[in-house]
Chain A
C-alpha cells in the first residue's frame, strides 16, 4: 500500500470504473421522481401531518398559534413520522453473470450492477440507508456510501461459476434486493430466503437473463461450456434441445416465483436486451410495496 505507484494505478483503475457506473445509475434514477415517503402517521419530520387539539402536557411552544387563533381551542401541529429503512443489496458477481449473447447489449453483471446502483441512488434520495448484504458495506446513507457501493461493485468477481446469495448481516425487518441470474443451484437461494424470512426481511428477487438464455438460438453440433469452464455439455443437434431447455428454464422461474411468494418476496425477470428503466421501476415499486 505504501508504494505510491501501486496506489496511483489502483486509484486510477477505481476512478475509471466508478464514474461511469455512478453516472449510469444516476441517469437511470433520474427518471423516477419521488418525494420523501411518509409513514402515514405522526412523527418527526418536516412534512405536515395534522392538527390536533392540544392536550394537557403539551408544551406551550408546541402550540400552533396561527391555527389556534382561528378558533377558541388550541391546536398542536403534528408532523408526519418519517423513518429511514435499511436496504441490503446483493448482486451476483459469479462468472455466469459475465455473459452477453450479443455485442449490442451489456453483460448481465453490468446490468445488475447498474440496477443495484440506481436503486441505491433512488433509495438514498428517499432517505433510506443502503448497504450490501454480508459484512462488507453496512447500510448507511449519504453520497459517500454511494461511492463505497460503487467501489464494492467494481471489485473483481469471485471465481465461482454460479453465485450464492449472501444472507448475513441482515437486520431484522429490513429490506433486501437480490440481483442474479439464478441459473446455479437453487438450494443456497432457498436457504438465504428462509433465513431472511426468519428475520422478517422482505424484498425483491430480480432475475437478470440474457435474451439468448431465453431463446436458446443455437443449432447444430455444439459444445456448451459454463463461463467458468467447470460445466460442459456436448450435443449434436442443439436445436433439438431447445424445447426441453426452455421447459427447464420455465420450471426454474416458477420455482423462484413460488419461493418468493412463500417468503413474502417479489420476483421478476429482467432481460438485458431491454432497457433498464422498466426493471428499475419494478424494483422501486416492489420495495415500496413491502414497506
Chain B
C-alpha cells in the first residue's frame, strides 16, 4: 500500500487525476453562470445603464475553489484512502494471550475484549494456535493451545475477577510452561506479586507485547469513622496533577430505594497518589450508607463496602429519677453516658418520643413502672428488634414490677426488696463476679478482681432462670439476665447503672459488656483472635465491576481466615454476616497501596487507544457531496435565483433533510379542548355533506347569537365535531342533522356516543324532512336515523307531551317548528306512574334531561344566519313565516335552557308547596 504520512491509498493510480485539476480550473473559469431572461416592463428605464464591475462574467474564485475541492475530494475519495493503515507481518508459532483479569481490568473490560477479539481474529487468519489465559483463573497446568476460533466463542463469557492473582498458583503454573510462544499481555496496569517472574518466563519463551491503558488506576480504601466524620481515602497510580474524583455514598433511602445519598469531591494534590476527604453526615443518613464508590469508575477497587463498623448505634437513655443537682457522679446515667458517648449516638427525651425515633437501644435506668401505652409501644419496639437494657435501682427494688408474674419487659421475676451484702449493717462481704460461662455473650472477657457488688435485686428462682442468666456473682445469684422477646431482647442488670450498688460501672469490664451486648459500636475491625471459631456467611458479593450481587449458595467462611484475608476465589469480596453483626471484605484493605506496572524498555507497550485502520473513502465522498451542495446554493445565489419564496423552500428542504419530524396531533386536541371548555359551545356533528354541515354551523351561529342577546347563556362560536376523532364530553349539546347517505360511525365512536348520552349529554337529531314525512317513517333520512340510532343507548320515547318541561324552560311554547312546522318531535318518555298532583298544572315528571330530541323540522335552516347576520333561508311566507322563525328560535332557546338547567322549571311547580311549608 502506498502511503503519505498516516494515510495510505488502496488505489493510488487514481491520484494522477489530480493533475487534471488545473485544466478544470481554466475550463470552469471561462464559463460564467447563465443569465436569466426576465420580462419586465420597466426595462425602458434600464436602457443605457451599465454595470459597474465587469469581472463577474467569470466565475468567482471562491466558487471555483469550492468546485475544485469537491472534485479533489471525489478523486482522493475513490483512491481509497485509509487512515493508519496497518502493515501486518503475519506472526509465526503459537500465541499466548495473557489477561490479568483483575478488578483493575474491569473499568474498560469491553474494550479489552474488543482488542482480544481483534487479536484472535488476526491469529486465526494467520493460522496460529492460541492460548487464552486469565491470571486470576489459571488452567490446571501448561498452555491449552487451540484454534483462535475456539477461543472466540467463549470470549463473551469471560469476566474479570474482583481479586488479584494468587502468587503461589502463578508460580506453580509458570513453572510448568515449556516450549516457545509469543505473548500478548493484557495488563490491567496494576502491579502484583509474581508479575516480574512471569514476565521473565514469557520473555524467555518468545516476544512479549503488552497492552495497557495509560489512564491512571483509581481505588478507594475502606471508610474509617473518626472524630464524628467519615474519612475516605482515594488511591491512584501516578497521573495528572490536580485530578479530581467524586466519591459517592450509596445506600437505601427511607423509601427503600438504593440511591446516592451523598457526594464529595476529592482532589489529588500534585503527584500525590492519595487523596483524603472527610465526610460529615447526620447519623440517620450515615447509618443508611451501604457502600462508597468513585463515581464513574466501574471497578471493584473503586468500591468499598461498609459494615457495622461505620454504623453508630443510637442509644436512648431514660432515667427514672430526676438528676439530683450537683451530684453528677450519682446520676444513674452518668457512667452510661461516659461509656457510650465515644462510640454511639445518644438520644435524650421522653420515652414516647424516643420510641418514635426508633433507636437501636433504649436504656431504662431504674425505671420501675411504665404507663400502659408506653409499655405497649416499648414492647412493640422490642419485638421489632430493639434492645431494651434495664438497670435495677432503689425504685425497681421497691416496686411490684414483675413480682408475682413475669412482666413482659423484664427478663425474670424479682423478689421483693433485693439484698445488700457487705454493708455496714449486713453480714458477709461484697460479692465478686463469677467468670462468664461459655454460652454467655460475655464469654472471654476477663473479670477484674476489683469489681464488687454491694447490693442487687434478686431473681425469683424460676425454671428459665438458669438459661436467662448471662452473668452471675460468685455465689451464683444472677447479675445480668436476658430474655428474647420477638426479634429483640430485654436485658436486666441487677445492679444500678451508677456506682451506688457496685463498682461494675467504674471498671473497663462495663464497657466491654456493653460492647458485647451490641449496645455500643465496636472497634472498626475485630482482631483475628476475636474472630477465631466463628463462621461467616457471605450475604452479598462484589463483582469485579463493582456491583453487588447475590451471594447465592456460597458456603460459610471461618472467621480466622476472614480476619486479615486477601480476597480470592474461595473468599470473594463482599458482605459477610456473622452471629450478630456483618463484616465487609473489600478489595482494597486499609493498608493496601496500588502500584503501577513498570515494563522493561525492550518490551513494546501499546495503549488501549491503538490507532485503528479507518477507511476515509466515505468521509471524503460525503465531503464532496456537501461541497457540491454548497456549490449549488452558491450558484443559485450568484445568479440571483436564491430569493424570496424559493430560498425559503431551499432552506425548508435542507431543514427537512436534517431535522427529525415531530408530531403535532396532540396540540390540535388540546386546542379543541381549550376552545370547547373555556366557554359554552354549541356543537354539531359532521355529516360529510358539506352543505348540510355549513347550514348546521350557520344555524348554531344564529342560535348562539339569539342566546347571547336574550339570555344569560353566552356561547362562543359553534364547533363542528368529528365523532371518530374528537372528544365529545366537552359539549353539553350536539346537533346532528341526518342525511340519507351518512356513513355509520365506528364502534369506538358509538361507545363514545353512549358514554356521552349516559353522562348527561343531549343530541338533537334532525331528519330535515318534516315537510314530507310523518312520525319518522318513510323518508330515506328517517330510515337512516333508525340505522344510526340502533346501537345507541336511547330510552323509550314519546311525542313531546303538552306539559313537558321543554314547553316552559324559557318561553311558553306548544309548537316546535323549524323550517318545517311538523308536530312530530320526540323526547324521552315520562315514567308511566307520573301523575298530575292536585292543583298543579303539570305532571310531576322525571328528573334529568332527555338525552335525545328527535324531529324533522330542519331547525338549523330556520336558525341559520349568514356573515351579515341576515337569515339564510326563507321560512314560510310573509309575516307568518317570520313568526315561525321566531318560534323556532324560541324552541332553540328553550332547548338550550333545558340542556343547561335541567328540570329546574319543572321543579318550580313545587314552589307553592315550599312557600307553604316555610309559613310564608
Q: How far is A184 from B38 in the complex, measured between Cα atoms in Å?
A: 18
Type the 1/0 row for A176-199, where 1 means its CB is closer than 8 Å to any CB of B: 000001011000000000000000
Q: How far is A268 from B43 in the complex, measured between Cα atoms in Å?
A: 21
Report whether A226 and B45 are in contact in the complex, using a CB–CB cutoff of 8 Å: no
- Known: A184-B44, A221-B35, A245-B45; 17 extra A-B contacts, CB below 8 A, are A99-B39, A99-B41, A183-B41, A212-B40, A217-B644, A219-B643, A220-B641, A221-B33, A221-B56, A222-B38, A223-B38, A224-B46, A225-B37, A225-B38, A237-B53, A238-B640, A248-B45
Chain A 186-239 residues near chain B, CB threshold 8 A? 210, 212-213, 216-227, 231-239
Which chain A positions have C-beta within 8 A of B643?
217, 219
Q: How far is A237 from B43 in the complex, measured between Cα atoms in Å?
A: 15
Which chain A positions have C-beta within 8 A of B39?
99, 224-227
Residue of B nearest to A216 (CB): B42
Report whether A218 and B44 are in contact in the complex, using a CB–CB cutoff of 8 Å: no
Report whether B640 and A227 are in contact in the complex, using a CB–CB cutoff of 8 Å: no
Is B606 in the interface zone, CB < 8 Å from A? no
Subset of 29 A-B contacts with CB under 8 Å: A183-B44, A184-B44, A217-B643, A219-B643, A220-B33, A220-B638, A220-B640, A221-B36, A222-B35, A222-B36, A223-B38, A224-B38, A224-B40, A224-B43, A225-B40, A226-B40, A226-B43, A231-B44, A233-B46, A233-B49, A234-B35, A236-B57, A237-B51, A238-B640, A244-B49, A245-B46, A248-B45, A249-B45, A252-B45
Which chain A positions have C-beta within 8 A of B52?
237, 240
Q: How far is A249 from B49 in the complex, measured between Cα atoms in Å?
A: 13
Report whether A221 and B34 are in contact in the complex, using a CB–CB cutoff of 8 Å: yes
Which chain A positions have C-beta within 8 A of B196?
none
Q: How many residues of A contact B (CB 8 A)?
A: 39
Is B32 in the interface zone, CB < 8 Å from A? yes
Given A183-B45, A221-B33, also A239-B640 (CB < 8 A): yes
Is A153 in the interface zone, CB < 8 Å from B? no
Report whether A183 and B42 are in contact in the complex, using a CB–CB cutoff of 8 Å: yes
Q: How many A-B pairs with Cβ below 8 Å?
A: 108
Report whether A236 and B56 are in contact in the complex, using a CB–CB cutoff of 8 Å: yes
Which 10 A-B pairs give the minimum distances between C-beta atoms? A220-B640, A219-B640, A96-B41, A220-B639, A221-B35, A224-B43, A248-B45, A224-B40, A233-B46, A213-B42
Measured between C-beta atoms, what is the minimum distance from B112 to chain A in Å? 60
Is A241 in the interface zone, CB < 8 Å from B? yes
Q: How far is A240 from B34 in the complex, measured between Cα atoms in Å?
A: 18
Measured between C-beta atoms, what is the minimum distance from B377 to chain A in Å? 85
Q: How far is A252 from B36 in the complex, measured between Cα atoms in Å?
A: 27
Report whether B640 and A99 are in contact in the complex, using a CB–CB cutoff of 8 Å: no
Q: How far is A86 from B40 in the complex, measured between Cα atoms in Å?
A: 36
Measured between C-beta atoms, what is the minimum distance from B227 to chain A in Å? 79
Report whether B43 and A249 are in contact in the complex, using a CB–CB cutoff of 8 Å: no
Report whether A235 and B43 are in contact in the complex, using a CB–CB cutoff of 8 Å: no
Report whether B46 and A221 are in contact in the complex, using a CB–CB cutoff of 8 Å: no
Given A221-B32, A224-B46, also A235-B638 (CB < 8 A): no
Is A267 in the interface zone, CB < 8 Å from B? no
Q: How far is A150 from B811 in the complex, measured between Cα atoms in Å?
A: 55
Type the 1/0 row for B4-38, where 1 means its CB is closer than 8 Å to any CB of A: 00000000000000000000000000001111111
Is A162 in the interface zone, CB < 8 Å from B? yes
B41 contact from A221, A226, A237, Cβ within 8 A: A226
B54 contact from A236, A238, A239, A244, Cβ within 8 A: A236
Q: How far is A249 from B44 in the complex, measured between Cα atoms in Å?
A: 10
Q: How far is A212 from B52 in the complex, measured between Cα atoms in Å?
A: 23
Report whether A181 and B46 are in contact in the complex, using a CB–CB cutoff of 8 Å: no
Is B837 in the interface zone, CB < 8 Å from A? no
Measured between C-beta atoms, what is the minimum distance from A218 to chain B in Å? 6
Chain B 637-669 residues near chain A, CB threshold 8 A? 638-641, 643-644
Measured between C-beta atoms, what is the minimum distance from A182 to chain B in Å? 10
Which chain B positions have C-beta within 8 A of A231?
43-44, 47
Q: How far is A72 from B5 in the complex, measured between Cα atoms in Å?
A: 126
Q: How large is the interface on B (under 10, 10 to 19, 20 to 34, 35 or more residues)?
A: 20 to 34
Chain A 128-187 residues near chain B, CB threshold 8 A? 162, 181, 183-184
Q: How far is A224 from B38 in the complex, measured between Cα atoms in Å?
A: 5
Measured between C-beta atoms, what is the minimum distance from A123 to chain B in Å? 28
Q: What residues of chain A have their CB less than 8 Å away from a CB belonging to chain B? A: 96-97, 99, 108, 162, 181, 183-184, 210, 212-213, 216-227, 231-241, 244-245, 248-249, 252
Measured between C-beta atoms, what is the minimum distance from A111 to chain B in Å? 14
Report whether A227 and B37 are in contact in the complex, using a CB–CB cutoff of 8 Å: no
Q: How far is A216 from B46 in the complex, measured between Cα atoms in Å?
A: 11
Residue of B nearest to A248 (CB): B45
Interface of B, helix, strand, loop or mixed by DSSP: loop
Which chain A positions have C-beta within 8 A of B42?
183, 213, 216, 224, 245, 249
Which chain A positions have C-beta within 8 A of B37?
222-223, 225
Residue of B nearest to A220 (CB): B640
Measured between C-beta atoms, what is the minimum distance from A247 to chain B in Å? 9
B640 contact from A221, A224, A234, Cβ within 8 A: A221
Q: How far is A244 from B42 in the complex, measured between Cα atoms in Å?
A: 12
Which chain B positions have C-beta within 8 A of A108?
41
Residue of B nearest to A225 (CB): B39
Q: How far is A41 from B592 in the complex, measured between Cα atoms in Å?
A: 122
Residue of A nearest to B42 (CB): A213
Which chain B positions have C-beta within 8 A of A219?
640, 643
Q: How far is A245 from B638 in the complex, measured between Cα atoms in Å?
A: 20
Which chain B positions have C-beta within 8 A of A227?
39, 41
Measured between C-beta atoms, what is the minimum distance from A177 to chain B in Å? 21
Report whether B644 and A233 are in contact in the complex, using a CB–CB cutoff of 8 Å: no
Residue of A nearest to B57 (CB): A236
Residue of A nearest to B36 (CB): A222
Q: How far is A96 from B640 in the complex, measured between Cα atoms in Å?
A: 23
Q: How far is A252 from B42 in the complex, measured between Cα atoms in Å?
A: 11
Which chain A positions have C-beta within 8 A of B57?
221, 236
Which chain A positions have C-beta within 8 A of B641?
220
Type the 1/0 row for B602-630, where 1 means its CB is closer than 8 Å to any CB of A: 00000000000000000000000000000
Which chain A positions have C-beta within 8 A of B56?
221, 236-237
Which chain A positions have C-beta within 8 A of B45?
183, 245, 248-249, 252
Chain B 42-87 residues near chain A, CB threshold 8 A? 42-47, 49, 51-54, 56-57
Report whether A235 and B51 are in contact in the complex, using a CB–CB cutoff of 8 Å: yes
Q: How far is A248 from B57 in the complex, measured between Cα atoms in Å?
A: 26
Q: How far is A241 from B56 in the complex, measured between Cα atoms in Å?
A: 14
Which chain B positions have C-beta within 8 A of A237?
51-53, 56
Given A221-B32, A222-B35, also A236-B40 (CB < 8 A): no
Q: How far is A35 from B910 in the complex, measured between Cα atoms in Å?
A: 63
Report whether A233 and B639 are in contact in the complex, using a CB–CB cutoff of 8 Å: no
Q: How far is A224 from B35 in the complex, measured between Cα atoms in Å?
A: 10
Report whether B36 and A220 are in contact in the complex, using a CB–CB cutoff of 8 Å: yes
Which chain B positions have C-beta within 8 A of A183?
41-42, 44-45
Measured between C-beta atoms, what is the minimum distance from B143 to chain A in Å? 76
Measured between C-beta atoms, what is the minimum distance from B317 to chain A in Å? 90
Measured between C-beta atoms, what is the minimum distance from B790 to chain A in Å? 50
Residue of A nearest to B50 (CB): A235
For B37, B42, B638, which residue has the most chain A Cβ atoms within 10 angstroms? Answer: B42
For B32, B36, B40, B638, which residue has the most chain A Cβ atoms within 10 angstroms? Answer: B40
Q: How far is A238 from B43 in the complex, measured between Cα atoms in Å?
A: 12
Residue of A nearest to B55 (CB): A236
For A210, A224, A234, which residue has the most chain B Cβ atoms within 10 angstroms? Answer: A224
Q: How far is A184 from B35 in the complex, measured between Cα atoms in Å?
A: 25
Residue of A nearest to B47 (CB): A233
Q: How far is A241 from B45 in the complex, measured between Cα atoms in Å?
A: 11
Report whether A162 and B53 are in contact in the complex, using a CB–CB cutoff of 8 Å: no
Report whether B41 and A213 are in contact in the complex, using a CB–CB cutoff of 8 Å: yes
For A184, A221, A222, which residue has the most chain B Cβ atoms within 10 angstroms? Answer: A221
Q: How far is A18 from B179 in the complex, measured between Cα atoms in Å?
A: 109
Report whether B43 and A236 are in contact in the complex, using a CB–CB cutoff of 8 Å: no
Which chain B positions have C-beta within 8 A of A223?
35-38
Q: How far is A224 from B57 in the complex, measured between Cα atoms in Å?
A: 17
Which chain A positions have C-beta within 8 A of B41?
96-97, 99, 108, 162, 181, 183, 210, 213, 226-227
For B34, B39, B45, B53, which residue has the most chain A Cβ atoms within 10 angstroms? Answer: B45
